[in-house]
Structure 1
Amino acid sequence: MPEHYLRLSGAQMLATEAFQWVGADIDDLVRHFAMGIVHGQAGLGKTFAVQAALERLTATGSASLPEPGTATPRSRTPAKDAVRVVQLVFPHRPNDLRVAQEVARSLTGSIPTGVNRFGIQEQALEQLSGAPYLMVVDEAQRLTRHAMEVLRYLYDHTATRLAVLFVGGDGCWETISRSQTLVSRMLRRRQFHPLPGRQVPAMMRHYHPLYSEAKPELLAAVDTEFAHGNWRNWVSFTATAADLAHAEGRVTLDRELVAAGYRVLGRS
């Protein structure tokens, strides 16, 4: 399981609808060697969902959770053709040379020297032609049109069996959609939204021991007043309230702990 934000102790991994869709999307991208995108505002659980899916893909050959009542994932990449995963994060507005360099580094562990961008691309292609790959590009809202063209070139080359997943926050889809050559290749688009308020109390009671016996209306109030359906906000509140509860020997969230947590967080 990926590490929770703030290394929150006791937090459970909840298989929300968006979380499960990401696993299925990645399976589809790998099976069809396609492009896809996961995007949404910061703090909604995109990166956590993607990392959890990649862990399952590496361990079992499938990023999907098992079907209910079975131990078999929805789809599986044959073991003899197991996909290799490379993850990339580029700096803000990388040029095409930087993209080629970082791709080469992710594949070989080093950046080729003494060659230009085209020579680096050819070395990357040589590496990519040896096995199926899933390339995960995080913070994709930073990409430029020229940077995206390098990735499209590698993806389209007849020597590669390459799936590409773009992951990004605010402005990610707007950035990617400037390149119609990428948009036309997108097999899956998954947008993350804040948690629906009506679902929050039941979900939070499974999320952390502090909430297991908490009153639903209290959890709903915390979401309305502070968290707003945002996982990162919930983690910040949970870490603060759990510290306060531990110091006082308490095990269940109540109104006094909520008020104290707000004061510590500067929201009173």
Structure 2
Amino acid sequence: MYIHGGAGFGKTLAVNTCLRALESGEDIRKITFRARPTARAVRYEPFTALDLAGEPPRHPSEFDRLLKTALAERPRTLLVDEAQWLNGQAFEYFRHLRDEPSTQRAIIFAGGTGCQPCCAVNRCCPPESSSGSSFTRLTPDDVLEAIPLFHPPWADADPEDITFADSHAAHGNFRA
């Protein structure tokens, strides 16, 4: 699954809110990448997120075997945040993990503007087995509906004050 949209549009908040609503025993691991990770980093981050014991393996095949074994132990959800930083090789690696028949995992990619075409081009999320959502700026009506529900100080605010704050500062950006 992929979620994409501009910075501050509420992607990560929405995903985390939905994941918290899952059964309490659900094993969810968040992986966050920064600026164009190397192939080793793409293996290392899941190793760390899964709290695997020992030193990270030196060779890619050892890394792959270890990660596949861990992902086959029980159902897990991997949330890959800042997915816009991943290159084609990184998406292919996650596809490689997903395609292993023994692994029990769901992968959610959350990324900034431009992430969705990256997912589609690299086929990490083929149409028959995935879904995606695009996040955009909130409309003025959306702001009036969502903001009073989001934060207690806005619950009783005058709608004109909310509209003023949005039009002068936030401009439909949920985070702002």
Q: Same fold (TM over 0.5)?
A: yes
- Given candidates 44, 54, 70, the residue that maps to 1:101 is 44
- Alignment RMSD, CA only? 2.2
**Cα separation, partners in 2 of 1:199 and 1:158, compared to 1, 3 Å:** closer
Q: 1:46 aligns with which of 11, 15, 23?
A: 11
Contact 1:43 1:230 in 2 (8 A): yes
Give per-residue Cα distances to partners, 1:10-33, cap 9 Å, x unaligned: xxxxxxxxxxxxxxxxxxxxxxxx
Report the CA distance between 1:93 and its aligned residue: 1.3
Is the aligned partner of 1:195 residue 2:138? Answer: yes
CA displacement at 1:134 relative to structure 2: 0.9
> What TM-score do the two structures reach when normalised by structure 1?
0.59
For residues 165-200 of structure 1, the C-alpha deviation after alignment (integer angstroms, 9 at most, x for no partner) is 001112211322330353445521111121111243
Pick one of 86, 89, 106 that aligns with 2:29.
86
Give the TM-score, by structure 2 length: 0.86
Number of residue pairs matched by the alignment = 175
Structure 1 unaligned regions, length at least 5: 1-35, 60-81, 234-268
Report runs of 4+ in structure 1 exceeding 6 Å deviation.
Answer: none
Q: Is the 8 A contact 2:44 2:56 kept in 1?
A: no
Could you tell me how far 1:201 is from its partner in structure 2?
3.0
Unaligned ranges ≥5, structure 2: none
Letter of the 1:90 counterpart? F
Higher radius of gyration, 1 or 2: 1
Contact 1:139 1:167 survives alignment (8 Å): yes
Higher relative contact order by CA 8 Å / sep ≥ 6: 1 or 2?
2
Cα pair distance change 1:185/1:95, threshold 3 Å: farther
- Are the counterparts in 2 of residues 40 and 192 from structure 1 also a CA contact under 8 Å? yes
Instruction: Report the CA distance between 1:55 and its aligned residue.
Output: 1.9
Aligned to 2:82: 139
Corresponding position of 2:64 = 121
Partner SS for 1:98: helix
Relative to structure 1, the CA distance from residue 205 to residue 152 in structure 2 (aligned partners, 3 Å threshold; closer, same or farther) is closer
1:124 and 1:58 map into 2 onto residues whose CA distance is: 24
Written as runs of structure 1 = structure 2, the 5 A alignment for 1:1-268 is 36-59=1-24, 83-110=26-53, 112-113=55-56, 115-184=58-127, 186-206=129-149, 207-210=151-154, 212-214=156-158, 216-233=159-176
Q: Distance in 1 between matches of 2:143 and 2:65?
A: 50
Q: 1:154 to 1:185 in 2, by over 3 A?
A: farther
Structure 1 distance, partners of 2:91, 2:81, is: 13
**Identity %, equivalent residues:** 28
